[in-house]
Amino acid sequence: SQQGEEDPQALSIQEGENATMNCSYKTSINNLQWYRQNSGRGLVHLILIRSNEREKHSGRLRVTLDTSKKSSSLLITASRAADTASYFCATAIIIQGAQKLVFGQGTRLTINP
């Protein structure tokens, strides 16, 4: 079963605008990761935020984590047409000393030129 729920399921914005995607989860986590997937391709890791971190930045990406609310958000600033993709959050739980990632259903982002 998938632990994460993402909101919205689809998002369409104009190039240059900011895009915000949200992720909620159910159980305690070790870290939370965001991935991007272009159509028909594998997933590409974007950013990892540990359970004791609240905010992290990477280029145009900003991720927040609120463990009390069991939620995270991904902000993409100054969006570009090339950002069009599906974005997934994945929660990391530890099983037998190794992390297992459980993915949400994703947000389909479309950037209109």
Partner 1 sequence: DTGVSQDPRHKITKRGQNVTFRCDPISEHNRLYWYRQTLGQGPEFLTYFQNEAQLEKSRLLSDRFSAERPKGSFSTLEIQRTEQGDSAMYLCASSLVWDSLNSPLHFGNGTRLTVT
Cα–Cα distance for residue pair 41/48, rounded to 1 Å: 20
For partner 1, the closer of residues 50 and 54 by Cβ is 50
Binding site for partner 1 (CB under 8 A): 2, 4, 30-31, 33, 35, 40-45, 48, 50, 88, 90, 92, 94-106
CB of 34 to partner 1, least distance (A): 10
In eight-state DSSP terms, residue 81 is G
For partner 1, the closer of residues 63 and 106 by Cβ is 106
Cα–Cα distance for residue pair 21/5, rounded to 1 Å: 11
Q: What do you get for the CA distance between the two ends of the chain, in Å?
A: 36
CB of 105 to partner 1, least distance (A): 5
